[in-house]
Amino acid sequence: MAYEVRELAETRVIGEKRSYDSIEEAQEKIQQFWTDFKQSDQRARLTLEADEQFQGFFGIYFPTDNGVDYMIGVSSDRETSEWASHNIPAGKYIVFEAGRPVSREIQRVTNEAYEVIIPASQHDLRNAPEFEYYPFGNVTAADYTAEMWIPVK
């Protein structure tokens, strides 16, 4: 599986966040979170907040002492009280592409990255959020590609 190593500047993200007691619970419920998000007016409102750094949505995992927070968000330099906000720290990431069907491919790519690619690489994991990146566009298009970003040293 091909991947790129990229440097990311510190990136401020805003969006809707949900908390889960474990990564397993998050993985079970994130698909419903995305469904709820897409069916509400939040998608259109949040799209308007995006800056030029990234033109798309993030699905970001923030580990906590009691589980994990997951945010659907956009990069934005706007101050807002309407949305949760976080900073993704600057650093190195291994970036994997995921085709269609996107939700299944993101899961497959992530599993392969953690089970095969990263252990065999020269990269150690770094304590920072991992995230999915979904460029704006038609996720059902044959040529649509999402990305999985995994922080490494």
Residue 28: partners with Cβ closer than 8 Å, 6 or more residues away:
none
CA nearest neighbour of 30 among 85, 103, 138: 103
Distance CA 79, CA 63 (A): 24
pLDDT of residue 109: 83
pLDDT of residue 137: 87
Q: Which helix (H) or strand (E) holds 59?
A: strand 56-64
* SS3 assignment, position 61: strand
Q: What is the pLDDT of residues 26-63, one digit of tens each?
A: 989 999 999 999 999 999 999 999 998 899 999 999 98
Please say if the pLDDT value at position 1 is more than 80: no
How many domains is the chain built from? 1
CB 91 within 8 A of CB 126: yes
Q: How many CB atoms lie within 10 A of CB 2?
A: 7
Please say if the pLDDT value at position 123 is more than 90: no
Residue 17, domain CATH: 3.20.80.10
Average pLDDT, the chain: 90
* SS3 assignment, position 50: coil
- Confidence tier at 23 by pLDDT (50, 70, 90): confident
Domain extent at residue 142? 4-152
